[in-house]
A and B are shown apart, each in its own frame.
Chain A
């Protein structure tokens, strides 16, 4: 295996091999990056190409300016073209690249700094202001060094792997996605909008690949392994062959899973389970339906707020989006979670200021209560929605419930709005299922009492793990302590499932754990029957459940609950499940 690789986090599975195209969006960084001696001439060449591209672009601006404003105004572009290819700019830059073996951006920045200083010393203010032209031109060259811009991206005519620092959703939606073999990004995360879009289209994505933009510059070809979170620069023929074969294997597995999509979700010993989808966007319902889910277990309504931001969605906006989702879902239930902005989710305009400790701050149901005008608008839309569909099709779920009182307050608000809507002639049914997310340890501990009040509970494992173990998993320094196999977490989950059984209250799970191949057997063994997950995970979990025996899983779960450390649980599960996982070709 070549050492020419970089690692990140694979967030949308798959393998891609192809030509990298770089697109940087952030303010231009001119850090000093050493260039290996044998790549120095390529770096000089890269700089020259950027200069000619900048000259070309300025010429283009000049043409447009002279058409729109007349020849006189276009004159400045004439000067800019000359500056871009000026020997007193170009020659020293090339000299620095060669002599100091550094990147073109850094060299250019040095030279521009000297030139600007020289202009600043000039006595004549009008001439001294010409430094602005130098800076302007330098920025044009820099942005070309930065890769291609959005306008060029939109015109892509060949399949490429898009390498970028960050891809805001506004950019992603403008891309010709049929030309994108894969994404490799410096930033982003598993829940970023771009990731979600790519996942639903089956495009592999690697995020957190720090330094990828710089590294990919001299590569003619890259291989993206989103299973391992690895990017290989200029893979050798043996590596290409290996990745092609794994790509084929994955496609075969996918089509096999697709062919099994109508197979019932049932264990070897006949226990039937329900697989539901977690979605963010209305158009994901289609993807979920393709995998034959029993319903939407979690619709995260906050995306509606992000989409409309800074405006707020009206009651009618909410209703229109929800109606579309519920209608598309067909007979299965749709569980809509009231907005869970706050925490780390972009909502500065909603909260109005940053908090010192947002994850423990105003988020989830607390934020709903503190912004009654938002919350009530959403509740009214949900109640009217329920009136449009048969009973049970629309369910309302409240996020981050930390105790019985919060649920009661939410229920009271629902009752008030129901009465109010009926007074104004709306049809609102009595029996709209109301549920609570169990993601704060206090609710898991009080699950019995909570289960008596709610119509359903849904365990949100991401936050439950984070709060139980006091670990922010996006903080690299402690991320390794985020352990789903922690016995403490398992015991809390067991307690919630047990409470539901005793009180006759439905319990489901909508956290990532519900799709974790290692944890699914334990959850099955604990008695969980409703697993809600990203639509793409559905076929794998279904295939896995069909391999398992409920009786054996009960035994396995009992064993795991007795264990003392997360590592012990993990090793035990890996050993017990090796065979089942191999059968469905899952690597853990």
Chain B
């Protein structure tokens, strides 16, 4: 199992389209991937789960992956957050 932390840096937070990108990224790996706060963790392959996190700008999130491709999975998710889901701002 691997874990790391990310921060939401785009203005709109983890909204529907951003969440969709996370799910797509997560779905391309075999590993189980979870994202959450210290209180609540959700399946990164579930858009409904991600949305109910209600993560706004500046929220720190834990990311955890478990499986034979966990390293690549974690890197891909981190990259998405760092790129602000490709939204530029």
A126 sits at the interface (CB 8 A): yes
Residues of B within 8 A of A122 (CB): 52, 54
Question: Which residues of B have CB within 8 Å of A124?
Answer: 13, 54, 56
Complex contacts, B65 vs chain A, CB 8 Å: none
When C-beta atoms are compared, the residue in chain A nearest to B21 turns out to be A78
Interface size of B as a range: 10 to 19
Segment 4-33 of B: residues with Cβ below 8 Å from A: 13, 15-17, 19-20, 23-24
Evaluate contact between A127 and B45: CB separation under 8 angstroms.
no
Q: Which residue of chain B lies nearest to A76 when distances are taken between CB atoms in the complex?
A: B16
Instruction: Assess whether A83 is in contact with B17, with CB atoms less than 8 Å apart.
Output: no
B2 interface contact, C-beta 8 A: no
Complex Cα spacing A79 to B51, Å: 11
> Number of residue pairs across A and B with beta carbons under 8 Å?
51
Is B46 an interface residue when CB atoms closer than 8 A count as contact? yes
Instruction: Give the distance in Å from the alpha carbon of A79 to the alpha carbon of B46 in the complex.
Output: 11
Task: Check if A127 sits within 8 Å of B51, measured CB to CB.
Answer: yes
List the B side residues contacting A119 at CB < 8 Å. Answer: 51-52
CB interface residues, B 24-76, toward A, < 8 Å: 24, 42-43, 45-49, 51-52, 54, 56
Whole-angstrom distance between the Cβ of A313 and the nearest chain B Cβ: 51
A176 sits at the interface (CB 8 A): no
A82: nearest chain-B partner, CB-CB: B47
Chain A residues whose CB sits within 8 angstroms of the CB of B51 once the complex forms: 119, 127, 130
Beta-carbon contacts under 8 Å, A234-286 to B:
none
Known: A86-B46, A87-B43, A87-B46. A123 touches B54 (CB 8 A): yes
Q: Name the distance in Å between A243's Cβ and chain B's nearest Cβ.
A: 48
Q: Is the CB of B13 within 8 A of A89?
A: no
B24 — which chain A residues lie within 8 A by C-beta?
82
A479 to B20, CA, bound (A): 58
Q: Contacts A87-B45, A115-B48; is A82 near B54 (CB within 8 Å)?
A: no
Interface mask (A118-137 → B, CB under 8 Å = 1, otherwise 0)? 11001110110010011000
Q: A89–B48 contact, CB under 8 A? A: yes
Which chain A residue has the least Cβ–Cβ distance from B49? Answer: A88
Output the nearest chain B residue to A88 by Cβ-Cβ distance: B46
Q: How far is the CA of A115 from the CA of B52 in the complex (A)?
A: 9
* A133-B54 in contact (CB<8A): no
Give every chain A residue within 8 A of B52 (Cβ-Cβ).
Answer: 118-119, 122, 127
Which one of A82, A123, A130, A134 contacts B23 once the chains associate, using CB atoms below 8 Å? A82
CA distance A79 to B48 in the complex (A): 9
Are B48 and A78 in contact, CB atoms less than 8 angstroms apart?
no
Cα distance, A124 to B13, chains bound together (Å): 10
Contact of B47 among A75, A79, A118, A127 (CB under 8 A): A79
Whole-angstrom CA separation of A83 from B46 in the bound complex = 8
Nearest neighbor of A137 in chain B, beta-carbon distance: B48
How far is A135 from B19 in the complex, measured between Cα atoms in Å?
18
Contact B20 A82 (CB under 8 A): yes
Q: How many residues of A contact B (CB 8 A)?
A: 21
| Residues in chain B near residue A75, CB distance under 8 A | 16-17, 20
Quick check: B15 and A127 within 8 Å, CB to CB?
yes
Q: Report whether B16 and A130 are in contact in the complex, using a CB–CB cutoff of 8 Å.
A: yes
Q: Which residues of A contact B48 (CB under 8 A)?
A: 83, 86, 88-89, 115, 134
Residues on A with C-beta less than 8 A from B20 are 75, 78-79, 82
Counting chain A CB atoms within 10 Å of each CB, which of B23, B43, B45 scores highest? Answer: B23
Hey, which chain A residues are within 8 Å of B49, CB to CB? 86, 88
| Residues in A neighbouring B54, C-beta threshold 8 A | 122-124, 127
In the assembled complex, which residues on chain B have CB atoms less than 8 Å from the CB atom of A118? 52
Q: What are the residues of chain B within 8 A of A79 when measuring CB–CB?
A: 16-17, 19-20, 47
* Nearest chain B CB to A115 CB, angstrom units: 6
Output the least CB separation between A65 and chain B (Å).
14
- Chain A 57-85 interface mask (CB, 8 Å, partner B; 1/0): 00000000000000000011011001100
Chain B residue numbers with a CB within 8 Å of A82 are 20, 23-24, 47
- Shortest distance between the CB of A433 and any CB in chain B (Å): 72
Enumerate chain B residues within 8 angstroms of A115, measured Cβ to Cβ: 48
Which among A86, A118, A119 has the greatest number of chain B C-beta atoms within 10 A? A86
- Which residues from B are CB-within-8-Å of A76? 16-17
Distance (Å) between the CB of A493 and the closest chain B CB?
A: 68
Query: Closest CB-CB distance, B28 to chain A, in whole Å?
Result: 13
The proximity string for A residues 388-411 relative to B, scoring 1 for CB distances below 8 Å and 0 otherwise, is 000000000000000000000000
Please measure, in the bound complex, the distance between the C-alpha atom of A127 and the C-alpha atom of B17, giving whole angstroms: 12
* A449→B6 CA distance, assembly (Å): 97
Interchain CA distance A119-B49 in the complex, whole Å = 10
**Residue of chain B at shortest CB distance from A87:** B46
Chain A residues closer than 8 Å to B43, beta-carbon distance = 87-88
Interface centre among B24, B47, B49, B54 (most CB of A within 10 A): B47
A121 CB to closest chain B CB, in angstroms? 9
* The one of B15, B19, B23, B42 that contacts A126, using a Cβ cutoff of 8 Å: B15
**Whole-angstrom distance between the Cβ of A124 and the nearest chain B Cβ:** 5
- Shortest Cβ distance from B43 into chain A, in angstroms? 6
* Interfacial residues, chain B to chain A (CB-CB below 8 A): 13, 15-17, 19-20, 23-24, 42-43, 45-49, 51-52, 54, 56
Chain A residues at the B interface, C-beta cutoff of 8 Å: 75-76, 78-79, 82-83, 86-89, 115, 118-119, 122-124, 126-127, 130, 133-134
A79-B19, A82-B23 given. 14 additional CB < 8 A pairs? A76-B17, A79-B20, A82-B47, A86-B46, A87-B43, A88-B43, A88-B46, A89-B48, A115-B48, A119-B51, A123-B54, A126-B15, A127-B15, A127-B54
| A-B contacts, 24 listed (Cβ < 8 Å) | A75-B17, A76-B16, A76-B17, A79-B19, A79-B20, A79-B47, A82-B23, A82-B24, A82-B47, A86-B47, A86-B49, A87-B43, A87-B46, A88-B42, A88-B43, A88-B46, A88-B48, A89-B48, A119-B51, A122-B54, A124-B13, A127-B15, A130-B16, A130-B51
